[in-house]
Amino acid sequence: TRVVSGKLSKAKRGYRICGNPVFGFDRVYTDASGAVMARAHFLESIPTAPGWSAKLEPSADAQAVAAVHWAFAAYLKGETLAGIARELNRRGLVTVKRNPWDVQGVRRMLANPAYAGANRYGRKSRGKFARLDERGEFIVEQSHPPIITKRQFDDVQNSLKARAVSKRPDAPYLLSGLVMCGHCGRKCSGAMYRWESRDERRDYRCQGRDCQRAMINADAIENAVLLAISQYVVSDQNIERCRQHA
């Protein structure tokens, strides 16, 4: 349709066709003549007029831009998603929805090509005009000034894939559902991780969506529990008591 064609043309010229803010970027609004009409912080919602279009620019909020640089660099140096979330929260930063950072929020940030200067469209089809291209998802490169380099972004994508969680671990998890998160008190379940340049590792991970997703090595905690059982439950004293009451 003409509406879809117009939106597609606008997207390929670097303009945002959705109003979703991106952490670390301001939205610069221009009118039909190209004159700048307003600039909005990523946490700010402003009224707009018909005919206005928006492009992203690295935010005037230097703390947020520095945090983006740090997050991408830290992940490439081996920092975990949970560790990055904790640091962002320690710095007093919040997501564009004003929520504390968690693992999922950090993952979405690291996977967003906007930080390398590209706009991505067609990933989700929620409305009549959401699917702008029959091929589905498409990315418009160099649509706005980047915060990180394309190489950094690609390196992080490769690292995210390398650290992917295996959904079907071969090893059993003796304490699955019994280990409780020390942060939020929810149950933890087993997950096998494949780390860059490391062997596979079994962990227990918190399942709380609003938690920092604390993890603990499965071998370490299982061995600790087995040791405690041998010392305090299956002790010589308790065995003797069982014999006496048999």
Q: Residue 27 forms beta bridges with which residues?
A: 40, 56
Q: What is the pLDDT of residues 60-79, one digit of tens each?
A: 999 999 999 999 999 999 88
The token duo for 65 is 């831009």
Residue 13: Cβ within 10 Å count: 11
Q: What's the rounded Cα separation, in Å, for the pair 198 and 154?
A: 20
From edge to edge, which strands make up the β-sheet containing 165-166? 165-166, 188-194, 200-206, 215-217
Give the residue, 17 or 77, on which the prediction is more confident: 77
What sections of 57-124 are H helices per DSSP? 62-76, 81-90, 103-110
> Quick one: which of 37, 33, 25, 30 has its CA closest to 15?
30
SS (H, E, C) 144-187: CCCCCCHHHHHHHHHHHHHCCEECCCCCCCCCCCCCECCCCCCE
Q: What's the rounded Cα separation, in Å, for the pair 208 and 213?
A: 7
Whole-number pLDDT of residue 226: 78
Q: What's the rounded Cα separation, in Å, for the pair 215 and 47?
A: 43
Q: What's the rounded Cα separation, in Å, for the pair 208 and 146?
A: 33
Q: What is the pLDDT of residues 112-162, one digit of tens each?
A: 999 999 887 665 544 433 344 444 566 777 788 999 999 999 999 888 887
* Residue range 32-50: mean pLDDT, rounded: 89
Q: What's the rounded Cα separation, in Å, for the pair 114 and 94?
A: 18
Q: What's the rounded Cα separation, in Å, for the pair 73 and 194?
A: 20
Q: What is the pLDDT of residues 91-119, one digit of tens each?
A: 999 999 999 999 889 999 999 999 999 88
> Quick one: which of 7, 3, 51 has its CA closest to 140?
7
Q: How many helices (H) and strands (E) does the chain have?
A: 7, 9
Q: What is the pLDDT of residues 173-231, one digit of tens each?
A: 778 778 888 778 888 888 776 554 445 677 888 777 666 666 788 888 888 887 777 77
